[in-house]
Structure 1
Amino acid sequence: MRSSARRSGGRPDDDLRRAALRLTAQFTALVLILLAVVGGIVFAIVAKSVAESNERALVAATQIDSAQDAPNGTFVTIVDAHDGGQVMTAPGMPDDLLDTAALQSVAAGGGDVRSERTVDGRRYLLLTTSSTGDRNHDRVVQVALDEHESAEELTRLATALLIAAGVAAVLAFVAAYVMARRAIRPLAEALALQRRFVADASHELRTPLTLLSTRAQLLKRRGRSGLPDDVTASVEEIVTDTRALTEILDDLLIAADPRSVAEPTDVDVAEVADEAVALLRDDAHARGLALSRSGGADPVVVSGSRAALLRLVIALANNALDHARGTVDVDVTTAGTWAVLRVSDDGPGFSPEIAANAFERFASGRAAGSSEAEGSRHYGLGLSIVAEITRRHHGTVTIDRSAPGGAVVCSIPLAAPARGR
């Protein structure tokens, strides 16, 4: 198991820096999104205001009496019917700006014509109309408004918004990084403390466990000829138990240290269930309970950690043994692309209050003081461990209250080669 784990990450300071940078990047991205939304709204409001201002300028220019009186950037062409259709144009009017087709259309009795033209790289907004104040449609006026200044105004606004967004993003990044470092530092210190505890636990637990395993193996070799068969069988069980405990310890250490990642392997859930039942059968017998394993004998293979799945089955079975009246059943089947592990008992079942928080840490359905009276203390961690291991294997865990005594059902995706069996 230890050979299948690899180390990831680096020093605590590097982890702290990476975490702070991730939070800073997320906060800065949020600020940029908000600035983009606000900037877009401001730009849209100003652009609409500019368009309305241009529209008012066009309409106002149709009321002037002389083309020479037009303001800068506005070119007026007047066709007066009283003067025999004389055409008056503003001085300096660019070539090809006059829209003669629009003038003819309005002069013939048509409605107002609005259009746009681009001349010499400048865009003009045109309005051709015969509605010119108190006159009786006896003249046609065409106004061309240069939109260059309006476009420059909008460009300056967009540039200012972009510069403000850039400055705000830099300030937000610096401020967020400083605050993130300060906020994460206590968590980093707690994580470092946890890692030290994991290292100490690894050393303190593995050493006596290794000695126990070695002595059990030595006793097993010596006892084959000089000890009764039942004692020899017990010694073999001790060897098996210590091996399982070593695997479980390694899995616990990997699960506790986020820098360690276990390489998934193909695990036969049915075989793991058989091993868990064998490990717990003596305990069940001592309690006067019958522990059995049902389901087919065919392999049910998933991808994950064998030691973790063994912990899962043991935790489920122990929970069932604690509440059973007479029998506990561990059932392993498949359903489509899922391996289904179902542990049921003939106990009182799960009440709605217990089922609501059964998978939370330190949640327990036992009455206060009952555990101590039975000689063992329970911490309410069994089902929370089940939920955590199931999550690590991308599965789901549920409580089936429809069963007579209650059941816990774990579903884990089958390994790719095993799907379709």
Structure 2
Amino acid sequence: MFKKTRINLTILNSIVFIVIISILGSMIYSYIRLYVYRDADRSLQDMVGRVGLTGEIPKFGGQGRDPHNNIIVLIWNKNNVLINKDDIQDNYQNHFIPHTYNKIQTTEVDGYYFHTISVRATINNQPVKLEFIRNVDIERNILRRLLLMMLIGGALGIILAIAAGLFLAGRALRPIKNSWDKQQRFVSDASHELRTPLTVIQTRGDLLLRTPEATIQEKLPDISIILKECRRLSKLVANLLTLARSDSNELELERKEFNLGELLRDIVEHFSEVASFQGKTITLTSAPPITFVGDRDRFHQLIVILLDNAMKYTDDNGLIELSCFETKNHIGLTIKDNGIGMKEENVGRIFDRFYQVDKSRTKSESLGLGLSIAKWIVDKHAGKIKVESKLGEGTKFEILFSKRKKI
């Protein structure tokens, strides 16, 4: 699909380039042609004016001279018989019989080109026709070379335009192709993630239907699994809707001031009970009251995602440290754990949707969407998120929000 689109874009760009070059080339050639012939035509018109003022008719110079190297005047009687036959070769005479007057004409004789202009006059009380002739081979050769150069340049330009069109079309389509590929992977992964809990629910439901006489207590494990998968499915759908709306810019932030330290204390207080039950410890280090301007609910979601992520990948008796700080230009937030960590090559991909680091290394189930949502929340607040992790030593998330940028 993208290959065909790239070719179509290249063809369209090439056609537009050819049309523009053709129009510009025609305009330039027409202007130069007019400019080159202007001196030759002006010399003819000056000769006509001079003869009209002085009455003197210049002589060509005798039989045998080539007319393509001179400006000459031919005198014709009313019967189109040449009077000054000695001024031009016999084999040229029939080509110059005048038919149009007071207008410059182009005449070709044996490969030579001339501009001519004829006027009516009277000599010795006899009506005659005066024809002024000027050779324009030099001008024509100049224009011929110019046209050849323009054609060669145009051909080279078209080849370069096609090559550049292919290159630029490829670059222009690259982000679209990447977005398309991501969307395809997103749809595929979402279908897979949705299919898994649905399959479990369907399987357990079929088992329940096979033994309608069984009591609820007997089927409690199946019911529990169904409810667990329903909650997982609900969470997955909610996350998918969040990401889909974020991609289409349908989600707007409700910006208002709130106390960041107070929000962190509320979240830590809630997570501390769960952490204590799992044998883990969460600590909070907060500077003096920090006022933050942003969406409080989304910021709450951000902290919960990062803490939940730290809880999943921290072993029993692990330590999770949460801290916030304020400088002259930034408000910062760090979440550090001493959990299992990850390899360096995985760090750059953890914000990709549905990406999960080696499921076998943790007992917890993850949808692979939380950090994608966290990254979106940070970006919407004009912040930057940095991740440092070492395998077996733990992971640290550091987020900086600029005070100068408006969100």
**Normalised-by-shorter TM-score class:** 0.3 to 0.5
Could you say which structure has the greater relative contact order, defined with CA pairs below 8 angstroms and 6 or more residues apart? 1
Report which of the two structures shows the higher radius of gyration computed on alpha carbons.
2
Provide TM-score, normalisation by structure 1: 0.41
